[in-house]
Amino acid sequence: MEILIVLLLTGIMWRLQKAVYRHYGLRHIEYKSYLSTKEAYEGDVVELVEEISNRKALPVPWLKSEITTSRWLSFAGSQSAVTDQTRFVPSFFMLRGHQKVTRRWKVTCLRYGGHPIVKTTLVTGDLLGNVVLSKPAAIRSSITVLPRPLPLDEFALSSRHSVGELMVRRRLLPDPFLRCGVREYEEFDPLSHINWMASAKEKKWMVHRFDATAQQKLAVVLNMQTNSERAWDHVNRVVADRGVHVCAACFDSTLASGIPVRFLTNASTNENKEASITCTNEAWGRTHVIQLLRVLAQLRLEVAQDFDSFLRDKVRQLEATNLVIVTAHAEGSLLRFVQEEQERGIAVKILLVSPPARPVSPGLEVYDVSGAFCREEDLYEKA
């Protein structure tokens, strides 16, 4: 008799807790997750913070949060699953009544780009696992990972052709900061140019003499066509990534010289998908360089315009004194374009992110920078 009573009470308690958790298991559960920063560089370690609160007296024996995010955010210590471009990270909690738990994940940013926390699903149930409840949690958190510049010191833009100010023989606008002597006053010379000490010594009006200078302007051009056969429907992601990192190195090298720089490529960005190409404004300084890195982080690895047409229609119209063309191949029309630009007095460098298929004309500045990269599989093995 006692055994029957125990079994009866056990059955009643089992059905009761099952009904209670079915109705109240996920009620008054508050969940929030966010990244510790909005922007970082490749290789940086940031934090993902999970905050979960049980706002009721009923304890939650187990609760799982299933985080869906980019595969390029690696969670330390987690048994995550990766499929294509998505990573699934499970996180388990046990909550008493009116308890708040905070968990901090160390997250390594493996690759540049915009990486959101796509969604989080909360799953819980009763003590014996007979009831399973789930609901999505509203999450709005993302991080922009900037490409880290490569150490391309041997190909740095510090040569006499591409930084600073270059003395020229032709008559340009005078630079008021480059004084190279004095001369006799001429009609229409501004009074602010008078050299008072020289005038007193010569007993006639003398003015400062200024050298003519040409302010250098740099344009970095990225060719998104990784195949010389114009295969628009296929872009080699590894080779395109190399081009992005070389461009980042070019931008970074302008910080020491203060040379104005702009960026152009025959591809669009995630923020401006409707545009067929990307062309930034020209400026200098760290703020501008960071903005250019943000553009690189948002690039779509898709060809939006044939590179030959892009050079002819857009690049040729620039007023830059120096061009750096980052490309996977240098053949035919590209080499002819470079020769034409050199005849116009524009200094052009070609940085190859893949070994050249054939020797290039010795009269051109062509550098193979593919040796600065690790094995193609390294980046993907880290994920």
Region for residue 74 given its phi and psi (left: phi exceeds 0; alpha: psi -120 to 50; beta: otherwise): beta
Q: Under 8 Å CB-to-CB from 111, ≥6 apart: which residues?
A: 42, 72, 145, 241, 379, 383
CA 294 to chain centroid, in Å, comes to: 5
34 bridge partner residues:
49
What distance in Å separates the CA atoms of residue 265 and residue 346, rounded to the nearest whole number? 19
Where in the chain is CATH 3.40.50? 153-164+216-382
25-146 topology per CATH: Immunoglobulin-like (2.60.40)
Q: Average pLDDT for residues 197-209, to the nearest whole number?
A: 86
Predicted local distance difference test score (pLDDT) of residue 163: 38
pLDDT at residue 164 tops 60: no
Count Cα atoms within 13 angstroms, Cβ side, for 371: 6
Predicted local distance difference test score (pLDDT) of residue 214: 54
More confident of the two residues 157 and 308 = 308
More confident of the two residues 90 and 171 = 90
**What are the backbone angles phi and psi of residue 49, rounded to the nearest 5°?**
-105, 125
The residue whose two tokens read 């980042």 is 248
Mean pLDDT of the chain: 79
Predicted local distance difference test score (pLDDT) of residue 170: 39
Where in the chain is CATH 2.60.40.1530? 25-146
Predicted local distance difference test score (pLDDT) of residue 188: 58
Q: Residue 49: which of 33, 30, 69 has the closest Cα? A: 33
What distance in Å separates the CA atoms of residue 303 and residue 243, rounded to the nearest whole number? 13
Predicted local distance difference test score (pLDDT) of residue 85: 80
Region for residue 345 given its phi and psi (left: phi exceeds 0; alpha: psi -120 to 50; beta: otherwise): left
Q: How confident is the model at residue 143 (pLDDT cuts 50, 70, 90)?
A: very high
Q: How confident is the model at residue 366 (pLDDT cuts 50, 70, 90)?
A: confident
Q: What percent of the chain has pLDDT over 70?
A: 77
Q: Under 8 Å CB-to-CB from 245, ≥6 apart: which residues?
A: 147, 148, 149, 150, 373
Q: How many residues does the chain have?
A: 383
Q: Residue 365: which of 333, 338, 328 has the closest Cα? A: 338
What distance in Å separates the CA atoms of residue 157 and residue 248, rounded to the nearest whole number? 12
Q: Average pLDDT for residues 92-115, to the nearest whole number?
A: 91
Q: What percent of the chain has pLDDT over 90?
A: 17
Predicted local distance difference test score (pLDDT) of residue 194: 86
pLDDT at residue 180 tops 80: no
What is the side-by-side strand order in the sheet with 165-167?
A: 165-167, 206-215, 174-184
For 298-331, what is each residue's pLDDT tens digit?
998 888 888 888 888 888 878 777 889 998 888 7
| Residues 336-373 as b or e (16 or more Cβ within 10 Å = b) | ebbeebeeeebbbbbbbbbeeeeebeeeebbebbbebb
For 21-34, what is each residue's pLDDT tens digit?
677 777 888 898 88
Predicted local distance difference test score (pLDDT) of residue 377: 43
Highest mean pLDDT out of 148-162, 183-197, 253-267: 253-267
Predicted local distance difference test score (pLDDT) of residue 10: 66
Q: How confident is the model at residue 365 (pLDDT cuts 50, 70, 90)?
A: confident
Q: How would CATH label the architecture of 153-164+216-382?
A: 3-Layer(aba) Sandwich (3.40)
Q: What is the largest CA-CA distance in the chain?
A: 131
More confident of the two residues 186 and 40 = 40
Q: Average pLDDT for residues 5-29, to the nearest whole number?
A: 69
The residue whose two tokens read 């009544």 is 97
Which whole-number Å values give the CA distances from 334 to 126, 312, 350, in the listed order? 68, 10, 10
What distance in Å separates the CA atoms of residue 267 and residue 46, rounded to the nearest whole number? 30
**Exposed (0-12), middle (13-18) or buried (19+): which is 194, by Cβ within 10 Å?**
middle
The residue whose two tokens read 């490309």 is 327
Predicted local distance difference test score (pLDDT) of residue 321: 78
Q: Average pLDDT for residues 249-278, to the nearest whole number?
A: 81
Which whole-number Å values give the CA distances from 363 to 222, 338, 347, in the listed order? 22, 10, 12
Lowest mean pLDDT among 55-64, 107-116, 207-216, 287-296: 207-216
Predicted local distance difference test score (pLDDT) of residue 247: 92
Lowest mean pLDDT among 11-15, 24-28, 203-207: 11-15
More confident of the two residues 103 and 381 = 103
Task: Residue 235: count other Cβ atoms within 10 Å of its Cβ.
Answer: 19
More confident of the two residues 251 and 271 = 251
For 329-345, what is each residue's pLDDT tens digit?
887 788 888 888 887 77
Predicted local distance difference test score (pLDDT) of residue 356: 75
Q: How confident is the model at residue 230 (pLDDT cuts 50, 70, 90)?
A: low
